[in-house]
Structure 1
Amino acid sequence: MKNLVLLILLVFSVSCAQEKKTIVGETEWQKEQNADFKDATKSPLKDKDRKTFTGLDFFKFDSTYVVNATLKRTPDSEWFNMKTTTDRLTKERVFGILSFELKGQSFKLNVYQGKDLMTTEGYEDYLFLPFLDDTNGSTSYGGGRYIGLRIPDGDTIVIDFNTAYNPFCAYNEKYSCPIVPRENYLPTEIEAGVKAFKKH
């Protein structure tokens, strides 16, 4: 009987170790992403892709891609309909313009605020930073990537490109994803964040 209990415990601990081993990632953010993608209640993956999923493909974490940006707020900007990959339109406005230096070059990006999210619990101060760059269509998803930010108290904001993630429609066409506006194109390679998803 004692041996049986030991055997059950051993099998249990091995299976737990295997469970834990599947949550890979170089940073906490990467681990969280992988855990969410493994979780059927949160994952955008199709069932067949989730069953074989072992982890997203990330660029190696690089602190060069963590930048301090100056936020110039645009309080008078108009609400507009941002196009998505489906017929759905999402009401957004340019919350401000982010100016920053990256690898000796100066860049600007518009950061957006969603009308619906402003009234959604937990997202009242959420800002949406979609961008395109020269890795799109090769090492990263062709449609560009997103970064989630929060409204800062002052006029500086940290952009961590290591947390750039793919729209859900990169994994499953049933999702409706905002299309990155052309003005948010960065004429450089952002080798940080999530890479292109290779479907099985």
Structure 2
Amino acid sequence: MRRIKIGPGQLVIRQGDITTLAVDCIVNAANSRLAGGGGVDGAIHRAAGLQRLQQACQAIIAQRGRLETGQAVLTPGFDLPAPFIIHTVGPVWRGGDHGEPELLRQCHHTSLALAREHGLERIAFPAISCGAYGYPVDLAVPVALDAVSHGLFTGLAAEVHMVLRDQAAFVAWAAHADRIL
């Protein structure tokens, strides 16, 4: 685990299972229908209680329609240690010439802004879009860390955890953080 002070806040880069963290909210790398799926999205749905979380997500979709890439919404955390989940839709990697960096930055910013709006100060993010959506880790890390650092520096959050599932991802994120922070 690495802790880095940024402005009045703190960035924590850690390896682990995001569904086990007792923070104010965790961020879900969701699909546009909030339907659950594989990877971190499926793990969060299962750990939170599949039926209740799906009902909450379906109610949001019924009210507002599908989420666009970069948007974020809030649901209860149900059975998670974190009382809330912020669902954001990350960009699908299409070579980098289709606005992917700005959309990834927007995912982090809108999630942090939504957390702040609800008074949630300790937030855990997964590596948004780096799984099934194919965003290369070495290109995602600087974008995500820049957005999160800006959020910490401007007071959108007090503590942000970047939670990486495996050792290789943790090493990559920690190395990038050492270079750019």
Instruction: Tell me the TM-score normalized by structure 2.
Output: 0.30
> Greater share of helix residues, 1 or 2?
2
Larger Rg: 1
Higher relative contact order (Cα pairs below 8 Å, separated by 6+ residues): 2
Q: Structure 1 length normalisation: TM-score?
A: 0.28
Higher percent of residues as strand: 1
